[in-house]
């Protein structure tokens, strides 16, 4: 890790400094950008760090920037689910992603 320091000793030093780390098991991390594109990080290693009351996340993995069409979600599907559920675009896109593009499952999960 740092210059040959034993990871357990490093963890102990961090604890003394009031720094807490927690590994979060995850299969994918998606960041929704303001411009409508997404950063998708597959096979991520996610660590939550809490220091002096501030929470931050360290994410490493294979990152790819995509738009909704590249994720295999059509605009028609998004609009259709939005109309049926009354949910926002972001909620609908997330539901469609989580349900592998299955409209019926996405609608049920949002209801």
- With cut-offs at 50, 70 and 90, classify the pLDDT of residue 2: low
Is 2 domain-assigned?
no
Is 1 domain-assigned?
no
Taking each helix axis from N to C terminus, what angle separates 103-110 and 89-98, rounded to the nearest 10 degrees? 120
Check whether residue 54 and residue 72 sit in a common domain.
Answer: no
pTM of the model: 0.54
Check whether residue 102 and residue 72 sit in a common domain.
Answer: yes
Ramachandran assignment for 25, one of left (phi > 0), alpha (psi -120 to 50 degrees), beta (any other): beta
Is 96 domain-assigned?
yes
**Between the CA of residue 63 and those of 30, 38, 49, 93, 105, what are the distances in Å?**
9, 10, 21, 19, 27
Is 61 domain-assigned?
yes
**CB neighbour list of residue 22: distance below 8 Å, 6 or more residues apart:** 47, 48, 50
The DSSP 8-state label assigned to residue 88 in this structure reads -
How confident is the model at residue 33, as a pLDDT? 86
* Residues spanned by the domain of 100: 68-110
């Amino acid at each position: 890790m740092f210059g040959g320091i034993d990871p357990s000793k490093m963890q102990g030093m961090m604890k003394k400094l009031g720094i807490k780390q927690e590994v979060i098991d995850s299969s994918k991390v998606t960041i929704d950008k303001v411009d409508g594109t997404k950063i998708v990080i597959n096979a991520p290693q996610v660590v939550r760090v809490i220091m002096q009351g501030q929470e931050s996340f360290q994410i490493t993995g294979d990152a790819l920037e995509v738009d909704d069409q590249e994720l295999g979600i059509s605009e028609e599907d998004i609009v259709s689910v939005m109309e049926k559920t009354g949910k926002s675009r972001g909620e609908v896109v997330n539901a469609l992603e989580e349900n592998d593009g299955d409209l019926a499952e996405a609608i049920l999960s949002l209801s």
